[in-house]
Amino acid sequence: MRLRKFDDMHLHLRQGEMLKLVLPYTLSQCARALVMPNTSPAVLTASDLTNYRSEILQAAGSAKAGFEPLMTFKITPACDSSSIASLKSAGAIAGKLYPDGVTTNSEGGVRDFRALFPVYEAMQEAGLVLCLHGELPGAFSLDREEKFLEVLQEIAARFTRLKIVLEHVTTAAAVACVSALPANVAATITLHHLYITLDDLLGDKLNPHNFCKPVAKRPEDREALIKAATSGSAKFFFGSDSAPHSIEAKECACGAAGVYSAPVLAPLLKQLFDDVGSDQLENFVSRFGADFYGLPVNQDFIELKEEEWLVPEVLDGIKPFMAGSRLRWRLV
Ligand code: DOR
Ligand code: ZN
């Protein structure tokens, strides 16, 4: 069966060797991807952004013609509203705000969300999207997302023309909050949060490959995410948050947060929407995100075959999501 290519509206591609290893999986399924700026060093300036885009396109090689990296910059406490115009000129379409210490490469991140009002203002005027990692630093880990919702509501109330995306929502509370806010506020939903709950991380033996931020929550939260993704609300669209880390970085005493889902996106999303009986897959993965960002719908297609596919245990030293599972669909 033919499927329109996805827009992955939240993706970690990394740099260097890792970028070269993981990018082909995105190229094979996605026409565009919103590339996260929490690289090391981070994407902070217009020249960082230009260099990172070049590195991505170079890694894409001959496939680059069929792929558009959508670029972002990292909003830190030092971010100055005067830098927004040059970031936009360099091609940024969004800025990503990382609260302090809540996830990979977020050290020294934001604690005073109000101090950045001038930055949000400049972004609103420039038509840039504000992407929020929605977790409140210092709160109990399972409550971090819910406690952040007040911050979201305050920013949305003050900047009524600013497009805001609450990234990778994991709770029924976040779904309800985003649903109740005006149309300029949307949310991304990952593949893995549609499949796993906290039990898949630590209910039995510890499985560090299902450890990500925000951490997967309760079964009823997962149900709310499935409903939001499959029911055809334009406020919820796909962002994989595929976040590769080496096996060594995951299976250790200080394991990194991140689920590497890029290799299995299309087969697993097709399976989930089929199981739910939803015809909204194309809207979720290829239309609502593009509409929100003001992009034309992509015109590329992939082919899926209904044929059992065993997800490899390891791909280039990284464990993919659902490693070792048998899936119903495979990418042709
Ligand atoms: O689990 C995560 N991993 N969540 C994030 O927000 C960042 C990501 C990463 O960069 O590894
Ligand atoms: Zn992310």
pLDDT, tens only, 160-219 = 999 999 999 999 999 999 999 999 999 999 999 999 999 999 999 999 999 999 999 999
Q: What's the Cα-to-Cα distance from 244 to each of 106, 173, 241, 260, rounded to whole Å?
A: 16, 28, 9, 5
DSSP type of residue 111? S
- CA-nearest of 54, 22, 116, 10 to 316 is 22
Count of structural domains, the chain? 1
Cβ–ligand 1 distance for 213 under 6 Å, the answer yes
Query: For a substitution probing ligand 1, which of 72, 97, 241 has the most ligand atoms within 8 Å of its CB?
Result: 241
> How many whole angstroms separate alpha carbon 34 and alpha carbon 163?
15
Residue 96 belongs to some domain of the structure: yes
Residue type, 269: L
| Whether the predicted pLDDT of 147 surpasses 90 | yes
Residue span of the structural domain in which 147 resides: 2-306
- For residue range 83-124, list pLDDT tens digits in order: 999 999 999 999 999 999 999 999 999 999 999 999 999 999
Q: What is the mean pLDDT of residues 20-36?
A: 98
Are 119 and 81 in contact by the 8 Å Cβ rule? The answer is yes
For residue 106, the CA-to-ligand 1 centroid distance in Å is 9
The answer as to whether 322 is a domain residue is: no
- What span, in angstroms and rounded, lies between the C-alpha atoms of 88 and 69? 15
Instruction: Out of 10, 12, 106, give the residue to mutate to test ligand 1, the one with the largest number of ligand atoms within 8 Å of its CB.
Output: 12
- Is the model's pLDDT at 63 over the cut of 90? no
Q: What sign does the CA torsion over 259, 264, 265, 269 have?
A: negative
Distance from residue 131's CA to the centre of ligand 1 (Å): 14
Predicted structure pTM score: 0.98
pLDDT band at residue 232 using 50, 70 and 90 as cut-offs? very high
Q: How many CB atoms lie within 10 A of CB 100?
A: 16
**CA 60 to chain centroid:** 20
Tokens in use for 192? 């893995």
**For residue 45, what are the CA distances in angstroms to 81, 88, 95?**
12, 10, 11
139 within a domain of the structure (yes/no) = yes
Beta strands in the chain (DSSP E): 2-4, 6-11, 30-35, 68-75, 92-97, 129-132, 164-166, 185-189, 236-238, 301-310, 326-331
Query: In this structure, which amino acid lies at residue 25?
Result: Y
Read off the pLDDT band of 65 (50, 70, 90): confident
CATH number of the domain that 39 lies in? 3.20.20.140
Q: Is 261 in the pocket of ligand 1 (CB under 6 A)?
A: no
Preceding peptide of 41 cis, ω within 30°: yes
* Percent share of the chain, pLDDT over 70: 100
Q: pLDDT tier at 64 (50, 70, 90 boundaries)?
A: confident
- pLDDT at residue 14, rounded to an integer: 98
C-beta of 257 in contact with ligand 1 (< 6 A): yes
Nearest CA-CA partner of 175 in 141, 225, 103: 225
241 labelled catalytic: yes
Residue 320 falls inside a structural domain? no
Per-residue pLDDT at 75? 98
| Ligand 1 touching residue 193 (CB < 6 A) | no
Residues 6+ apart with CB under 8 A from 4: 282, 285, 286, 297, 298, 300, 301, 302
Residue 176 lies in a domain: yes
Q: At 93, is the secondary structure helix, strand, or coil? A: strand
Tokens representing residue 194 in the block: 């549609």
- What per-residue confidence (pLDDT) applies to 73? 98
Q: Flag whether 14 is in a domain.
A: yes
Decide: 149 and 204 in contact? Cβ < 8 Å. no
Q: For residue 311, tell me if it sits in a domain.
A: no
Number of neighbouring beta carbons within 10 Å of residue 24: 17
Look at residue 165 and give its three-state secondary structure.
strand
What does the chain come to in residues?
Answer: 332
Distance from C-alpha of 93 to C-alpha of 126, rounded to nearest angstrom = 9
DSSP sequence for 270-329: HHHHHHHT-S-HHIIIIIHHHHHHT-PPP--EEEEEEEEEE--S-BTTBPBTTTT-EEEE
161 found inside a domain = yes
DSSP letters spanning 235-269: TEEE---B----HHHHSSTTPPP-BB-GGGHHHHH
Q: Is the shortest distance between the CB of 12 and ligand 1 below 6 Å?
A: yes
